[in-house]
């Protein structure tokens, strides 16, 4: 019977966070299942990416199909966050400074305060971040859906917590996904050295996902 293959997932998660600068490829991370095949062996398959229909800072629809054929760099935040979002924002601005004009990838920041962070608020926040195109999206969806997708699709955590500063708790990670929406790296978004590694890993993944013959 299929079962989550969490042990391998955890090991790959560790490898992604501690890899050196000499990496030539990135591992595939995330929850997996081991299933028996017709040849008497076993196959490893990944869980299906969830479906949703949200909106971005321009009030345009955002679905899993919105970024088909592109890399995704994902994080979770809220505009009134008084704690780690400040550092995360500065680090994402660094990444945007390097890759913000590259149409092969997008940064996707998911608000976890759907009531307050409506499109006009997200649009103003994007402007404060220096965003001048649609290569960095700020996305609003129903809170419960966002929290579930954070856990199931991105190995992240987001939830409402009245005892936390700002009223929410969330992971401070940046999650890098390939064109097939498979996780290829997880990084501490408050750590400049890990974001340096992320910037290098994006270059590796772009080279893998977009061979010279396809450019």
pLDDT in tens, 144-198: 999 999 998 898 999 888 888 888 889 999 999 999 999 999 999 999 999 999 9
Per residue in 36-56, pLDDT (tens digit) is 677 777 666 666 789 999 999
| Residues above pLDDT 90, as percent of the chain | 66
**Which fold is adopted by the domain 53-214?**
Glutaredoxin (3.40.30)
Backbone angles phi, psi at 193, to 5 degrees: -65, -40
pTM: 0.83
Closest CA to 84 of 171, 193, 199: 171
User: pLDDT tens across 20-33, in order?
Assistant: 445 678 998 876 66
Dihedral of the alpha carbons of 86, 87, 92, 98, in degrees to the nearest 10: 130
Q: pLDDT averaged over the chain?
A: 86
**For the residues of 124-143, what is the DSSP string, one character each?**
HHHHHTT--SSSEEEEE--H
Top-confidence residue, 98 or 6: 98
- Give the pLDDT band of residue 204 (cuts 50, 70, 90): very high
Cβ–Cβ under 8 Å, residues 175 and 183:
yes
Residue 93 has pLDDT above 80, yes or no: yes
């Amino acid at each position: 019977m299929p079962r989550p293959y969490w042990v391998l997932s955890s090991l790959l998660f560790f490898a992604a966070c501690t890899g050196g600068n000499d990496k030539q490829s990135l591992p595939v991370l995330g929850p997996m299942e081991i299933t028996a095949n017709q040849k008497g062996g076993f196959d490893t398959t990944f869980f299906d990416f969830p479906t949703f229909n949200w909106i971005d800072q321009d009030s345009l629809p955002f679905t899993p199909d919105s970024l088909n054929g592109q890399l995704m760099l994902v994080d979770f935040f809220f505009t009134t966050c008084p704690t780690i979002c400040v550092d995360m924002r500065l680090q994402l601005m660094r990444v945007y400074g390097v890759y913000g004009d590259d149409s092969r990838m997008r940064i996707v920041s998911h608000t976890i305060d759907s009531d307050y962070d409506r499109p006009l608020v997200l649009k103003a926040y994007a402007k404060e971040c220096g965003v001048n195109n649609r290569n960095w999206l700020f996305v609003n969806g129903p809170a419960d859906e966002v929290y579930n997708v954070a856990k199931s699709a991105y190995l992240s955590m987001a939830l409402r917590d009245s005892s936390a500063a700002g009223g929410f708790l969330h992971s401070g990670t940046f999650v890098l996904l390939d064109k097939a929406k498979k996780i290829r790296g997880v990084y501490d978004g408050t750590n400049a050295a890990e974001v340096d590694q992320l910037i290098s890993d994006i270059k590796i993944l772009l080279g893998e996902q977009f061979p010279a013959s396809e450019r």
